[in-house]
Amino acid sequence: MERAILLADMNSFFASVHQALDPTLKGRPVIVGGDPEKRHGVVLAASYEAKAKGVKTGMTVHEARRLCPEGVFIKPQHHLYVHFSTRILRIMRDFTPLVEPFSIDEAFLDVTGCQKLFGSPVDIALALKRRIREEVGVTCSVGIGPNKLLAKMAAELQKPDGLTVLRHEDVPARLWPLPVRELFGVGPRYERHLKFLNIHTIGDLANFPVKILRMRFGVYGEVLWRCANGIDESPVDPHSLERVKSIGQQVTLPRDYYRLAEIKVVILELAEKVAERARGGGYAGRTVVLSLKDANFAYLSRMKTLPAYTDLAADVYRAAVELLERHWPEGWPVRTVGVALAGLAAGPPRQLTLFEGREKWESVERACDYIRSRFGERAIFRAASLTGAGVRYAG
Amino acid sequence: MELAIERKNLMEIAEAAQRVAAKNSPQPAFSHLLLEARGGTLLATASDGEVWLRVAAPAEVAGEGAAAPPAHLLAGLVRRLPDGPVGLRSGPDGATLRVAYGSSGAALRGLDPEVYPPFPERTGGETRFSVDGGTLGKALRRVLFAASTDPARPAFNGVLFRPVGDGLRLVATDTFRLAECRLATNGGGPAEGADAVVPLRALREVQRLASGGVEGAVEAAIGDGYIHFLLPGGAELYARLIAARFPNYEEVIPSGSTTAARLGAGELLAAAERAGMLVENDPLSPPLVALSFGEGRCTVAARTQTGELREELRATVEGEPVEVWFNWRWLAEGLRAVGDGGIFLGLNGPLGAAVFRPEGREEGQAYTYVLLPTKPPGE
């Protein structure tokens, strides 16, 4: 049986949330981003009124102000967006349990089995749009297709407040004339690679010999070709967000750090936070990722795979420091430090070790978790954090 | 320098030296070989600054002298030459080596041999011992795999050489398992001496050369910060020791066990490898196999999303029944090192260290492998 998949994409979500909360903002250009008082940062979202003035997501707030001086500039308030997103997902789950949140403002719904209950996919989409508009105060564009890919492409075709159906047989007429970068999964890098093969439109890609794509780009070449032909068999997975792949912490330093010894203090603080979060969720990981940026955003990201799963700060720290010493030249300024634990598994096997008194160390870290959760973040921390280099407990 | 040498002999020394030479070093000498023709011998010396190797091969020397060609280029060329005599002659500038074969020839531009750093001097006060080459080669094969390659733990990046009254102990560990081989030394042993942690790279070469074609004794000497080996066939290897303290390993080898099992090591290995194939095939499954011991049997089991396997082997089991999970690779490596006769397994509950030993006495050495279990998923 052909599936019926919906993608609901909230229009200018962050800006719409503020408009929903404050009716005086309705019909006015609302721009969310940066810190309006400090006059820096980038635009995260703009209402359609602001977009009409040329304001785009990702431009600097400064530029947006030039284009749209009468705009209402609002500092992002993420807790509000999470709250609205949760309310919208709840409405969606009234229609089907098969809801896959795709980002904070998009979700897939598999309504294949709901048609006896709620009518045709178009009826369901209309009812969903109405309920979200009336109960939450946000408009959305819905795409309907026989799979996730076509539902997503359909939602892109009409914004704002759209409702588009894209069937398999519509693909040549509606998708193929579009430039290839409009295809889901094609970023600027692949766009360049494909141009090189004289592939400019989605149709060019769909009709290109798949064998050559496979040779050039491996499995992903075939995936793109299938997308261009509207083929996608992936299921709507209501648990996709529950499977955590990595846990990371990042911090932008108050000043440039030059000495490895100072950077190590920050890495230690981040490693402790990462390990604490991993333990909190019952995860352990096998890959440690260190990323560093200098003030000019020169970027370095390196990873190391450990011989066994860990959720201990001591292991994460040791691996991250090894990466630091191997890959970052001492004396080069560091502005941003990130540490992540990846290759996560829930309740993975624990390899026991000789010599290290690992079980004891594990109890130490777990005891610290308990002390922090009971008496607060600052109840216990490393003495190293008291040196000038510490950032987690500074001030 | 001018000489003729059989290609086979030249290849042997060029390849050995090339393995020690640095592939990429800021010091150009270390990516070159030093060739020296003396009497009826061609010597090849290579180093990466930590390990030094000098190997010798018979040659018809027409003119003594030296050359320093690029290590990988020379070895690569000789590997591709047809069998037969090869002529080597250093050019008038000293830095060019002419290689003649049949009616053809090549010229390799290298360094002035004068700039090649000299083989390190040995200081006095050495602890010396002599071991049969075959015995040492086998012992190294049984411990080297257990060492760690994680640079964060320098002490474990090598093998502990501990001279004791009647012989020598070689120990390697990566903290997940530990391998110890006790071996007899010739003439009663080195008496007492200092511990030495010898880098893996050096020992891989010693293992190759000690168990190579030539039989005989290996003469070793541990000095201040270095170890020196004189191998059968005349090769010499000098290595700087790892300057880190090896932990007191004896205290982590369990002295007793709550379950003792005796069975065929080869059978257990074959079962572990089949189970390993299964778990390796599924990237989402941990690489674990479960061994359980009960009355007269040892069961090997593995289960993944894509399949499961259960094998029952006959075993003599004394003590409590137990189930214990191991990383299958570390299990298989230990079983291979034990050998294909009978194996004694001393287990200490599901989470205690397990001891593997060959059943019965072995000629010239005694082997122990300690493997720590894994807490199974979800426990």
Q: Give me A229's structure tokens.
A: 């032909």
Q: Give me A335's structure tokens.
A: 């502005």
| B100 and B140 share one domain | no
The CATH number of A1-166, from 3.40.50.150, 3.40.630.30, 1.10.10.10, 3.30.70.270, is 3.30.70.270
Angle, vertex CA A133, rays to CA A131 and CA A134, nearest 5: 65
Asked whether residue B377 is assigned to any structural domain, the reply reads no
Instruction: Please check whether residue B54 is in contact with residue B16, taking contact to mean a CB–CB distance below 8 angstroms.
Output: no
Superfamily of domain A171-228: 5' to 3' exonuclease, C-terminal subdomain (1.10.150.20)
Verify whether the Cβ–Cβ distance B175 to A318 is below 8 Å.
no
With a cut of 80, say whether residue A298 has pLDDT above it.
no
B5-50 pLDDT, tens digit each: 999 999 999 999 999 998 877 888 999 999 999 989 999 999 999 9
Q: What phi and psi values does residue A297 have, to the nearest 5 degrees? A: 70, 20
Share of chain A above pLDDT 70, in %: 96
The closest alpha carbon to A111, from A95, A87, A127, A94, belongs to: A95
Q: Assess A243–B contact: CB distance below 8 Å, yes or no.
A: no
**Cβ neighbours for A301, distance < 8 A, ≥ 6 positions apart:** A289, A290, A291, A292, A338
Separation in Å, CA of A189 to nearest CA in chain B? 29
With a cut of 90, say whether residue A146 has pLDDT above it.
yes
Q: In what order do the strands lie in the sheet with B316-319?
A: B196-199, B158-164, B167-173, B177-184, B365-371, B354-358, B342-347, B259-264, B316-319
Nearest-by-CA chain A residue for B287: A349
For residue B175, which residues of chain A lie inside 8 Å, CB to CB? 353-356
SS3 content of chain B, % helix, strand, coil (to 5): 25, 40, 35
A2-54 pLDDT, tens digit each: 899 999 999 889 999 999 999 898 888 999 887 655 555 778 888 888 988 88
Cα dihedral B334/B339/B344/B350 (nearest 10) = 20
Instruction: Give the model's confidence band at B207: pLDDT under 50 very low, under 70 low, under 90 confident, else very high.
Output: very high
Q: Assess B320–A contact: CB distance below 8 Å, yes or no.
A: no
Last residue of a domain, one of B251, B274, B306: B251
Residue B86 amino acid letter:
V
pTM over 0.80: no
| B243 and B270 share one domain | no
The mean pLDDT of A176-190, rounded to a whole number, is 88
The closest alpha carbon to B202, from B255, B159, B153, B234, belongs to: B159
Write the residue in B175, B325, B377 that is nearest to A355 by C-beta. Answer: B175
| B131 and B228 share one domain | yes
For residue B247, which residues of chain A lie inside 8 Å, CB to CB? 355
Nearest-by-CA chain B residue for A306: B150
B135-194 pLDDT, tens digit each: 999 999 999 999 998 887 899 999 999 988 778 999 999 999 999 999 988 876 566 677
Nearest-by-CA chain B residue for A323: B152
Mean pLDDT of the residues in chain A: 88
| B17 and B110 share one domain | yes
The mean pLDDT of A179-183, rounded to a whole number, is 91
Asked whether residue B331 is assigned to any structural domain, the reply reads yes
Write the residue in B173, B176, B377 that is nearest to A347 by C-beta. Answer: B377
Calpha distance B175→A361 (Å, rounded) = 15
Specify the pLDDT at position B361.
Answer: 80
Instruction: Please check whether residue B218 is in contact with residue B129, taking contact to mean a CB–CB distance below 8 angstroms.
Output: no
Asked whether residue B379 is assigned to any structural domain, the reply reads no
Q: Assess B289–A contact: CB distance below 8 Å, yes or no.
A: no
Instruction: Give the model's confidence band at B365: pLDDT under 50 very low, under 70 low, under 90 confident, else very high.
Output: confident
Q: What phi and psi values does residue A299 have, to the nearest 5 degrees? A: -125, 140
| B266 and B356 share one domain | yes
Q: Give me A237's structure tokens.
A: 């997975």
| B218 and B262 share one domain | no
Last residue of a domain, one of B89, B115, B141: B115
A225-237 pLDDT, tens digit each: 999 999 988 888 8
Which class does domain A244-386 fall in?
Answer: alpha beta
Q: Give me A99's structure tokens.
A: 């809801």
Separation in Å, CA of B335 to nearest CA in chain A? 19
Strand, coil or helix: what is A136?
helix
Residue B72 amino acid letter:
H
Q: What interhelical angle do B71-79 and B7-20 show, nearest 10?
A: 140
A308-358 pLDDT, tens digit each: 889 999 999 999 999 999 888 888 889 889 999 998 887 778 888 888 777
Write the residue in A318, A347, A353 that is nearest to B152 by C-beta. Answer: A318
Specify the pLDDT at position A243.
Answer: 67
DSSP state for residue A21 in the 8-state scheme: H
Kindly list the domain boundaries of chain A, sorted by start residue: 1-166, 171-228, 244-386
Specify the pLDDT at position A347.
Answer: 77
Number of domains chain B is built from: 3
For residue A322, which residues of chain B lie inside 8 Å, CB to CB? 151-152
Calpha distance A68→A47 (Å, rounded) = 12
Asked whether residue B122 is assigned to any structural domain, the reply reads no
Asked whether residue B16 is assigned to any structural domain, the reply reads yes
The closest alpha carbon to B112, from B225, B28, B196, belongs to: B28
Q: What interhelical angle do A13-21 and A78-95 show, nearest 10?
A: 100
Specify the pLDDT at position B305.
Answer: 80
Last residue of a domain, one of B189, B218, B251: B251
Calpha distance A322→A308 (Å, rounded) = 17
Supply the CATH number for residue B310's domain.
3.10.150.10
Q: Which residue has the tokens 């921390």?
A: A381
Domain housing B23 = 2-115
Write the residue in B247, B288, B374 that is nearest to A355 by C-beta. Answer: B247
Instruction: Please check whether residue A303 is in contact with residue A254, taking contact to mean a CB–CB distance below 8 angstroms.
Output: no
Specify the pLDDT at position A39.
Answer: 53
Distances (CA, A) of A63 to A33, A58, A93, B93: 12, 10, 40, 68
- Preceding omega of A101 cis (within 30 degrees of 0): no
Specify the pLDDT at position B107.
Answer: 94
Specify the pLDDT at position B292.
Answer: 96
The mean pLDDT of B114-133, rounded to a whole number, is 88
Q: What phi and psi values does residue A152 have, to the nearest 5 degrees? A: -70, -45
| B235 and B277 share one domain | no
Specify the pLDDT at position B324.
Answer: 96
ipTM above 0.90, yes or no: no
Q: Assess B175–A contact: CB distance below 8 Å, yes or no.
A: yes
Calpha distance A312→A43 (Å, rounded) = 38
Provide the phi-psi class of A130: left if phi over 0, else alpha when psi is between -120 and 50, else beta.
alpha
Specify the pLDDT at position A351.
Answer: 85
Specify the pLDDT at position A162.
Answer: 87
Verify whether the Cβ–Cβ distance B374 to A356 is below 8 Å.
no
Provide the phi-psi class of A128: left if phi over 0, else alpha when psi is between -120 and 50, else beta.
alpha
For residue A354, which residues of chain B lie inside 8 Å, CB to CB? 173, 175-178, 249, 252, 353, 370, 372
DSSP state for residue A176 in the 8-state scheme: T
Specify the pLDDT at position B37.
Answer: 94
Specify the pLDDT at position B26.
Answer: 81
Write the residue in A322, A347, A354 that is nearest to B372 by C-beta. Answer: A354
Specify the pLDDT at position A37.
Answer: 58
Q: Which residue has the tokens 């911090």?
A: A251
A374-384 pLDDT, tens digit each: 888 888 988 98
- How many residue pairs bridge chain A and chain B with CB atoms within 8 Å of each other? 58
With a cut of 70, say whether residue B134 has pLDDT above it.
yes
| B83 and B183 share one domain | no
Which positions of A are annotated as active-site residues? Answer: 106
